[in-house]
Structure 1
Amino acid sequence: MPALAGVSTLGLALLLGTVVTPQTAHAQGEGEVVYCDDLDPRDRARSTRRRAGGSNRDCTYRETTVDAETGEVTREVPVAARPRSVLPRRYSDIPRPTAEQFVEKVAIPDRWRIVNALGYADNWWDPYNQNTIKGDRPIHDDWFFNVTAISDSVLEFREVPTPVGVQSTDRPGSLDVLGETEQYLFNQNVAVELVYYQGDTVFRPPDWEFRFTPVFNYNYTELDEILGVNADPADGVTRNDNHVGIQAAFVDKHLRDVSDRYDFDSVRVGIQPFSSDFRGFLFQDAPFGVRLFGTRDNNRFQYNLAWFRRMEKDTNSGLNDVSEDLRDDDVFVANLYWQDFPQLGFFSQASLIYNRNREDEVFYDTNDLIQRPASVGEERLREYDVWYLGYNGDGHFGRLNLTTSFYAAFGQEEDAVFSGRESDIEAFFFAAEPSMDFDWIRARLSFLYGSGDDDPFDGKSEGFDAIFENPQFAGADTSYYIRQGLPLIGGGRVALSQRNGVLNSLRSSKEHGQSNFTNPGIILAGGGVDMDLLPELRLSLNANYLAFAETGVLEVARQQANVDSEIGVDLSAAVIWRPFMSQNVVVRVSYAQMLAGQGYKDLYGDEDPYSLLCNVILTF
C-alpha cells in the first residue's frame, strides 16, 4: 500500500498497539486480576462496556458480604466467571445502612397524609390541585366530601306561535286566532351537588354514598299576548318566578363484590337521575325510586332493575317540586348493557319498561292552567298501562360511529283522548345517527321516525309517545323544533310538540301531562357537521327536514280538512367556546330558523319562526 510505504516495522507495531491497548489497559502483569472496585469510575465504565466479538469486561468485581451484626459491607472474593451472554451484575457504591442507621417506623393513618408531608397546599377554591372538598383527601377516616357547583344561564329570544287571549288581549283590535309571536326568556339555575361517600372510587364503587343536589332557579318570561304566562289576564304579559328544586337526594349502598375484578351489586334509594337509553329518547328524568344495579364479567355486562315514581314538576322551571305529592305514575325498568357487542367498540342495550298510570284527579299547574286531563278531545281523566320493548346501541364500527334506538310500545288505555273508549296501544319508534370523523370535522346524518295514528276512533292508539323525553339528537336544543314547544292553537290547550322534545305528542305538557298515544307522529331526516376550529372553539351546523307521519288526528283536533304533512326545514348553527379547554367555562351561542312547510302554514300561517339562544355554564 503506497500510504504505508516507508513505515518501519517498529512504527507499525506501535500503531497496532494503540488499537488493542484499551482492551488490556488495566492488566498489571501476566495473569494478574484487575478489580473493577478499585478503578476510577470512567475507567470502570470503559472496562465493563460490552464489545462486539470481545469479552464482556477486562476487570472483575469482588463478591459482597454483609456482617449480620454490624451491617458492614465488604468485597473480597473474586466473582466466578460468567457466560459472555449475561450482563454483569452491578452493585451500588453506597454501602448499605447499618441497623442503627434505620429510623424508627412511624405509622401513617392513610396514604393521603403522605401528600401533606410533602408540603402540597390545600386550597378549597382550586379544583385543579389537591383539594379536600373535591374528594382528593378524606375529611375523616376513609370518608370523603365532594362539592360541585354549576351556574347555568340562558338568555333566549324566540318567535313561537301564540294565541290571542280569549277573555282579553294586550292588542285591541286583534281579531285573529293567532297573536304576536315575539317572546323573551331569561333563566338562571345554580346547582350545588354535595356528595359524602366512603371508600374508593377507582377500581370499585364507594361502600356508601350520600348525594344531595338542590337547584336554585330564577326565570323571567315576556310575551306580547295576555294569557300566555298565566290564566289570569290581570297578570299581564310578563312573569317573574323562582323555585328551589331537589334534583338528587339519595343513598347508595355497595352490597357486594362478585369477582376479583370488582364486579359488584349496589342499591340506590331516593330522588335520582336516570336515563333509559343513550340519547334520552324515552325516559330521562330525576324521579324518586329504588334501583338495583351492578356489573358482571369484568364490567362487560351492566344491568339495572328499578322502580320509579314520577315527581310533580314546578311549571316554570321544570325542576322537581317536593312540596307536591308524588304522582300516581309508576315506571318499572329492567335493562342490560353489553359492551363490545356485536363488535369491539360498540355498546348494545336491551330494555323492558312498564309505565303504569293511574292519575284520576284533575290537576292545575302553577299558572292555573289545566294539565290533567289534557284539554283536547273528550277531556276525560285517563288511565293506561304501556310496555316498551327496546334496543339501543352506541359506539363505532371501524371509522363509522353509530347511535341507534328502537322501541315498540304496546298496552291498553281507558278513555282514549278522542274516542273516550278503551283502546289498544300499538306504536313504535326508530332513530339512527351515523357519523364519521375527517380530521377536525365530524359529519353526521340523522333519521328518526315516531309512528302516528291515522284514525283516532278505530280503537287503536298508534301514535308513539315517550314517558319523559329529552333527546340529544339532530342538533338537540340548537334545533328550533326540538328546543321550542309549539301550542296546538285552535284545537285545545295542548302542545303539538314539547320544549326540549321531538315527538308530536299533543299532550298538555311534558312536565305535568300524561302520555298521549293518539298523535300525528314525526318523521325527521337531516344532517350536520361538528367542526373543531380550535381546541377551544367548535362550530356546529344542522339541517333537518320534518314531517307528520299522519295528519288525521290534527284534522280532527282542529276541525280542519287537508292539513299537509310537511312541517318544514329546520336550519341551525351553534358556536361553542371553551376558553380554558375544559368544561369549567362553556359559552354557547346558537341560532335556528324554521323554513315553514305547507303543513306548518296550514296550522300557524306563513311566518318562518326563529330562536336565538345564549348559554353560559360555569362549573366548579
Structure 2
Amino acid sequence: MAPGTVLAGKERIEAALMPSTPAVPTQPLAPTSAPRAEVKAVMPQPALVQAAGADGNRTFRLAQTKRRVPGQAPVEERKRERRYDPNAAKPPQPNLPREFLPVPDRWRIIDAVGVVPKWWDPYNQNYIKGDRPVFGKDWFVNLTLISDTVIEPRLLPTGISPNGIGRAGTNDVFGDGDQMVYNQLLILNMSLIKGDTAFKPPDIEIRFTPVFNVNRLEARELGVVDRDLRDGKTRDDDFIALQEVFLDYHLGNLSDRYDFISIRGGIQPFSSDFRGFLFQDNQFGLRLFGNYDNNIFQYNLAWVRRLEKDTNSGLNDVTEPLRDDDIFIANLYIQDVPMLGFVSQATVVHNRNRESDRSLFNVNRFIERPASFGDERPHDYDVTYVGFNGDGHFGRANLTLSVYYAFGEDDHNQIASSPQGDKSDISAWFFAAEPSVDFDWIRLRGSLLYASGDSDPFDDEEEGFDAIFENPQFAGGDTSYWIRQGIPFIGGGGVALTQRNGVLASLRTSKEHGQSNFNNPGLMLYGMGG
C-alpha cells in the first residue's frame, strides 16, 4: 500500500487486523481529489489512515469511536456504578426555563424566611404605607399623617378702627401692628390603590384627606380679629376640612412604555404652571390627563368649580354651596424643547365668574363680595389667560419662565361706573423669570417679575393683571415678607394691597373669598439671592 493512500469501508478494518506484510487492495481507491461528500458518506466506521513521515517510516493511526479488543466483537460500554448519597443535592434539570417559573409575589417573599412585619414600623415593610396588599393581590392602602405647626410673630401696618380704639390716649391713622399667630394643622392622607404602582400608573386610586385645624390670633388693636369691636383683640378658632376627596381611574395604556390616559373626579390638587402664578389650589373638578410618546408629551384637560373657603384657616368649606365661579384649563407639556433638559408648557385658562347675584360676608363679619372698593357693586366677568411656561436648564444655567396675557370683559368697572354703561375690556400682561447658576453647594439666583398695571382706572379698559388663586414659589416664596404677609390697603376700604402667600398687588378683599380685580396698580419686582 503506497504512502498517502486512504482506505475506506470494510477494507480499512481488515487492513488494521492483518499482519504488517505488504498487501494490495482488491479494488482501487477513489482519488484523493474526490468530492468531500463522497468521503463523508463512507465514514461511519472507525478510520485507518496511513501516512509517511519525513524519515520514510510507515506510521498508522487508528481512530475508533468505541472501545474494542482486536479479534472480538465490539461490546457496549459498561455503565459506571454510582453510589447514592442521601445528603447530596439533586442535579439541576437541563434547559431549565427559569424566567417562566411561577414565584410568589414580591411583597410576600419575606414570609418564606419568617419575617413578621410590624404595622407601626415606618422603616420596614408594612400594610399601612403601601408596601404589601391589604386584600387581593394588588389592593394597597397608604396612610400618611402630617403635623404642621406655625408660630408667627409679625408686624403689619394696622389701621385704627373708626368705631373705637384699643388703647386709651391714642388717635392716629396707624395703630400698633404687633400680632401673634398660632396655627396647627393635622393632615391625614388616606389612599386606596389598585395596581402595581412601582412600574406603571395605578389602575384605581381613591383618596380621602381630612384636615384638622386650630388657630389663634392676638392683635393690639380692635377691629382686627372681628368687625364687632366687642370681640376684643384675641380670636380662637378651629375647623375640620376636606382637602382631597377624589377617584382616579386609569382608562388605559397607549404604548408598551406605559404612556397612559386617566380621569380624576372630585376635590383634587391642581397647578396651572410650574410656580403657581395663576392657579394652584385644591378644588372640586374633573380632570382628564396623561402622557404620550414615551412621556415626551404630558397633557391636562380640566374643569374646576371653586369651593368656598373657611376664613381663618383658609381650608375648603364643603358645608357651603359651590361658588358660581368656573375654570376651564387646557395645557400641554413638552420635554426637551427647545433643547435637552428644558420642559416647555403651553396653556389656555378661561375663568367664568357669575357671582353678581349675591354678596358674601366672612365669618369675621367683613364683606368679601363685592369688594368694598369703588362703588361697591357686584359684577361678573369672563377672562381668558394664554400662557407659556418653561422650566429646566441650559448647561449649568437654570431657568424658570412664565408669560401670560389676559383678555376678556368685566360687566362692571367699580371705579369707572357711569350711567352710559360701565363695561370694561380686560387686557393685561404678566412676566416672571428666575435664572440661576449652581456652584458646588451654592445656587446664585436672580428674580424678575412684571405685572401690568392700569394707568387710567377711570376709562373702559382694565389693564392690571390679576390671577385666579395664586400661590407663588418665587423670589424666596413664603420666606419673603412681601409674599408671606397680606399687606392691608390702609384707607382704601376692606381690601388688601397684597394677599397672604401672594405676590400680585391686586387690591382684592382676599384670594380665598374675593373676585379677581383687574383695576390695580401692577407690580415690578426684582432681586438676587442664593
- Measured against the shorter chain, the TM-score band is 0.7 to 0.9
Q: Is 1:209 matched with 2:205? A: yes
Q: Distance in 2 between matches of 1:463 and 1:241?
A: 35
Shift of 1:122: 1.5
Q: Distance in 2 between matches of 1:521 and 1:384?
A: 19
Matches within 5 A, 1:154-233: 154-233=150-229
Aligned equivalent of 2:257: 261
Q: Is 1:482 matched with 2:483? A: yes
For residues 110-140 of structure 1, the C-alpha deviation after alignment (integer angstroms, 9 at most, x for no partner) is 3322122223332222222112111000001
Q: Secondary structure at the match of 1:495?
A: coil
Aligned equivalent of 1:567: none
Q: Distance in 2 between matches of 1:296 and 1:449?
A: 34
AA of the residue aligned to 1:214:
P
Shift of 1:165: 1.5
Classify 1:106/1:179 alpha carbon distance in 2 versus 1 (closer, same or farther; 3 Å).
same
Aligned equivalent of 1:370: 367
For residues 379-436 of structure 1, the C-alpha deviation after alignment (integer angstroms, 9 at most, x for no partner) is 1101000000000101111000111101000000011121131000000100000111
Shift of 1:245: 1.1
Q: Is 1:324 matched with 2:320? A: yes
For residues 221-256 of structure 1, the C-alpha deviation after alignment (integer angstroms, 9 at most, x for no partner) is 011011101011110000000111111000000001
Q: Distance in 2 between matches of 1:486 and 1:496?
A: 6
AA of the residue aligned to 2:224:
G
Aligned equivalent of 1:436: 437
Q: Distance in 2 between matches of 1:308 and 1:138?
A: 33
AA of the residue aligned to 1:115:
I
Q: Distance in 2 between matches of 1:131 and 1:258?
A: 33
Aligned equivalent of 1:40: none
Shift of 1:98: 7.6
Kept after mapping to 1: 8 A contact 2:352/2:381: yes
Q: Distance in 2 between matches of 1:498 and 1:520?
A: 14
Aligned equivalent of 1:610: none
Matches within 5 A, 1:288-327: 288-327=284-323
Q: Distance in 2 between matches of 1:109 and 1:252?
A: 28
AA of the residue aligned to 2:114:
G
Q: Is 1:287 matched with 2:288? A: no
Structure 1 residue runs of 5 or longer lacking an equivalent are 1-72, 76-92, 100-104, 530-620
> What is the aligned length?
436
Aligned equivalent of 2:423: 422
For residues 39-97 of structure 1, the C-alpha deviation after alignment (integer angstroms, 9 at most, x for no partner) is xxxxxxxxxxxxxxxxxxxxxxxxxxxxxxxxxx989xxxxxxxxxxxxxxxxx97615
AA of the residue aligned to 1:448:
L
Aligned equivalent of 1:409: 406
AA of the residue aligned to 1:136:
D
Aligned equivalent of 1:389: 386
Q: Distance in 1 between matches of 2:292 and 2:203?
A: 18
Q: Secondary structure at the match of 2:483?
A: helix
Q: Distance in 2 between matches of 1:111 and 1:129?
A: 14
Matches within 5 A, 1:204-603: 204-360=200-356, 361-420=358-417, 421-529=422-530
Q: Distance in 2 between matches of 1:98 and 1:406?
A: 66
For residues 14-60 of structure 1, the C-alpha deviation after alignment (integer angstroms, 9 at most, x for no partner) is xxxxxxxxxxxxxxxxxxxxxxxxxxxxxxxxxxxxxxxxxxxxxxx
Q: Distance in 1 between matches of 2:433 and 2:246?
A: 34
Q: Secondary structure at the match of 1:288?
A: strand
Aligned equivalent of 1:136: 131
Q: Is 1:125 matched with 2:120? A: yes
Kept after mapping to 2: 8 A contact 1:417/1:516: no
Q: Distance in 1 between matches of 2:397 and 2:229?
A: 54
Q: Distance in 1 between matches of 2:101 and 2:276?
A: 53
For residues 431-469 of structure 1, the C-alpha deviation after alignment (integer angstroms, 9 at most, x for no partner) is 000111101111100000010001111111000000000
Aligned equivalent of 2:52: none
Q: Distance in 1 between matches of 2:133 and 2:101?
A: 20
AA of the residue aligned to 1:487:
P
Kept after mapping to 1: 8 A contact 2:359/2:370: yes
For residues 292-350 of structure 1, the C-alpha deviation after alignment (integer angstroms, 9 at most, x for no partner) is 00000011100000000011000000000011111000000000000111111111100
Q: Distance in 2 between matches of 1:168 and 1:477?
A: 33
Q: Distance in 1 between matches of 2:391 and 2:102?
A: 49
Identity value in percent = 61
Classify 1:169/1:386 alpha carbon distance in 2 versus 1 (closer, same or farther; 3 Å).
same
Q: Distance in 2 between matches of 1:406 and 1:527?
A: 20
Classify 1:98/1:388 alpha carbon distance in 2 versus 1 (closer, same or farther; 3 Å).
closer
Kept after mapping to 1: 8 A contact 2:165/2:171: no
Q: Secondary structure at the match of 1:124?
A: coil
Kept after mapping to 1: 8 A contact 2:489/2:507: yes
Kept after mapping to 1: 8 A contact 2:352/2:382: yes
Q: Distance in 1 between matches of 2:105 and 2:445?
A: 49
Q: Distance in 1 between matches of 2:281 and 2:380?
A: 21
1:96 to 69, 77, 91: 91
AA of the residue aligned to 1:525:
Y
AA of the residue aligned to 2:221:
E
Cα RMSD, aligned residues only: 2.0
Higher-helix-fraction structure: 1
Q: Distance in 2 between matches of 1:115 and 1:469?
A: 47
Kept after mapping to 2: 8 A contact 1:120/1:130: no
Shift of 1:109: 6.0
Kept after mapping to 2: 8 A contact 1:160/1:486: yes
Instruction: Between 409-418 and 111-120, report the one with greater CA deviation.
Output: 111-120
AA of the residue aligned to 1:335:
N
Classify 1:435/1:120 alpha carbon distance in 2 versus 1 (closer, same or farther; 3 Å).
farther
Q: Distance in 2 between matches of 1:255 and 1:427?
A: 39
Classify 1:107/1:173 alpha carbon distance in 2 versus 1 (closer, same or farther; 3 Å).
same
Q: Distance in 1 between matches of 2:107 and 2:398?
A: 41
Aligned equivalent of 1:14: none
| TM-score using structure 1 length | 0.68
Classify 1:324/1:74 alpha carbon distance in 2 versus 1 (closer, same or farther; 3 Å).
farther
2:149 to 150, 153, 157: 153
